[in-house]
Chain A
Amino acid sequence: MNAYKQIIVDGLWKNNPGLVQLLGLCPLLAVTNTVINGLGLGLATILTLVASNGIISLLRNQIPDEARLPVFVMIIASIVTIIELSMNAWFHELYLILGIFIPLIVTNCSIIGRAEAFAARNSVGPALLDGLMMGLGFAAVLLLLGAMRELLGQGTLFSQAYLMFGEGARGLTITVIEDYRGFLMALLPPGAFIGLGLIVALKNSIDIRLAKREPKASVVEVETPAAG
């Protein structure tokens, strides 16, 4: 069971796609200006990651090694298109909410990253778990960054929650700072980069502190982020 625990720790913390692999930055930076937007992209990403990891793991013995990348791209693009069409047809309410996020997922290279690094080398169970955990780890970063930027940018949390949870959720919006005049930069792309940088720094400093407390782990692992 240790392997499963490893997958969970990797996805949520140690190898978090948003903070360590720094994959999927394009959608991550683009939509995290509110908590609710972050949540929408997070849910859509989890769904796609689990589906693509599962299917690629199932087919891993059929996919020729030399041509695996184009095959992954085809599989992922097909999955995303099929999810989008099906949601538009049968879950139209949900589509109206999440629909705009789904095309953004195609640009998320953490999906193909997981296909290549994990799903193509592992059996279905671990691959599905890896998809779920990587998705959750990514969603957590989206939510945190969304909360930071929304709070700094417009002084609220959970604004437009009714888009996701219906009219009953109108009261969910928390105005943290009354009469806040707004801090535009937090909502614009520079705010996204700076915010993400701060979160990465925070994660690294926690890691370093943890490593100091446990002298057994002698080397502080400095993982080099891949581009993406």
Chain B
Amino acid sequence: MKDLQKHIIRVGLLLGLFAIVATTLVAFTEENTREQIKENQRQALLDGINALIPHDEYDNAILQDTLLLPPTEALGTEEPTLVYRARQNGEPVAVVMTVVAPDGYSGTIKMLVGIYHSGKLAGVRVIDHKETPGLGDKIDVKKDDWILQFEGLSLGNPPASKWKVKKDGGEFDQFTGATITPRAVVGAVKQSLEYFRKHRDELFAVTEEAK
């Protein structure tokens, strides 16, 4: 019996050792890649902003003219996000906000939503998602033009009751075989427009750092 006990303890310890080594390696990799991944994401963010608001429509330094937004339920954000403000001759032109759709098919869908001062959408781009390849990933502008249809729309156009995918009686096409993903995106865009309508002046307010 003694031998068996010894054996069980030995196997258990070895298993624990493997767990420690494996976890250490993953933690080490995470530690070493974190900054670079953040940098890559920041670069993607910059590219995204430039794709939404044409460069000749504003003359301020958009990356410096930011507003730190606390986690906001209406935007689906769970950590503070930056709002980028575009201005021309000091007059507000547009904001670019980070919006998270919490109800994608496989987790959250992170987007940039650009809204002109008038409440008209400058456009929407998905910057991070885990939707099914070939089905839900058509929300990515690299794979499909679907996301471009938001450009120029606003809360009145189409009317609020039509801000849904067609399957739910709205105006927006779903994808063949994937309804949940576009439904999540349409819902989140609509919510962000409503949020913008309520908080427009706060969003454009000149903050101390920006002056």
Which of B13-21, B157-165, B195-203 lies on the face that meets chain A?
A: B13-21
Bound-state CA distance A148–B142 (Å) is: 24
Residues in A with CB closer than 8 Å to B18 are 63, 71, 74-75
Instruction: Please state if B29 and A187 are interface contacts (CB–CB under 8 Å).
Output: no
Q: What is the bound-complex CA distance between A92 and B40, given in angstroms? A: 7
- Interface SS of chain B: helix, strand, loop or mixed? helix
Q: List the count of A-B residue pairs having beta carbons below 8 Å apart.
A: 77
Q: Are B14 and A67 in contact (CB under 8 A)?
A: yes
Q: In the complex, what distance in Å separates the CA atom of A89 from the CA atom of B40?
A: 7
Asked if B22 and A100 sit within 8 Å, CB to CB, the answer is: no
Check A82–B25 contact: CB distance below 8 A: yes
Closest chain A residue to B143, Cβ basis: A160
B26 at the A interface (CB under 8 A): yes
- CB pair B36–A78 under 8 Å, yes or no, is no
| B15 and A71 contact, CB distance less than 8 A | yes
Q: Report A-chain residues with C-beta under 8 Å of the C-beta of B33.
A: 85-86, 88-90
**Interface segment, one of A12-20, A27-35, A193-201, A210-218:** A27-35
Q: Is the CB of A66 within 8 A of B133?
A: no
Residues on the B chain within 8 Å of A71, using CB? 15, 18
* A140 lies within 8 A of chain B by Cβ: no
A37 contacts partner chain B, Cβ-Cβ < 8 Å: yes
Among candidates B10, B11, B177, residue contacting A187 with C-beta atoms closer than 8 Å = B177
Number of interface residues of A (CB under 8 A): 35
Q: Which of A41, A67, A88 contacts B15 (CB 8 A)?
A: A67
Q: Do A88 and B40 contact each other (CB < 8 Å), given the known contacts A62-B14, A187-B177?
A: yes
Chain A residue numbers with a CB within 8 Å of B73 are none
The answer to whether B134 has its CB under 8 Å from any CB of chain A is yes
Which A residues are CB-close (under 8 A) to B26? 78, 81-82, 85
Interface size class of B (residues with CB under 8 A): 20 to 34
Kindly state whether residue B91 has any CB partner on chain A within 8 Å.
Answer: no
Given known A-B contacts A71-B18, A81-B29, A88-B33, A37 and B177 have beta carbons under 8 A apart: no
Given known contacts A81-B29, A82-B25, A89-B33, is B176 in contact with A64 (CB within 8 Å)?
no
**Interfacial chain A residues near B135, Cβ < 8 Å:** 33
Cβ of B168 under 8 Å from chain A:
no
Closest B-chain residue to A71, C-beta based? B18
Return the contact of B11 from the options A40, A66, A90 (Cβ within 8 A).
Answer: A66
Docked pose: A31 CA to B134 CA in angstroms: 7
Contact A163-B142, Cβ < 8 Å, known A71-B18, A75-B22, A100-B130: yes
Residues A82 and B40 in contact in the complex (CB < 8 Å), given A30-B132, A64-B10, A100-B133: no
Which residues of chain A have a CB within 8 Å of any CB of chain B?
Answer: 30-31, 33-34, 37, 40-41, 62-64, 66-67, 70-71, 74-75, 77-78, 81-82, 85-86, 88-90, 92, 96, 100-101, 103, 160, 163, 184, 187-188
- Taking A71-B18, A90-B33, A101-B133 as known contacts, 6 extra A-B pairs with beta carbons closer than 8 A to each other, sorted by chain A number, are A86-B33, A89-B40, A92-B40, A100-B133, A100-B137, A163-B142
Q: Would you list 6 pairs from A and B whose C-beta atoms are within 8 A, ordered by A residue?
A: A34-B134, A63-B18, A86-B29, A89-B40, A100-B131, A160-B143
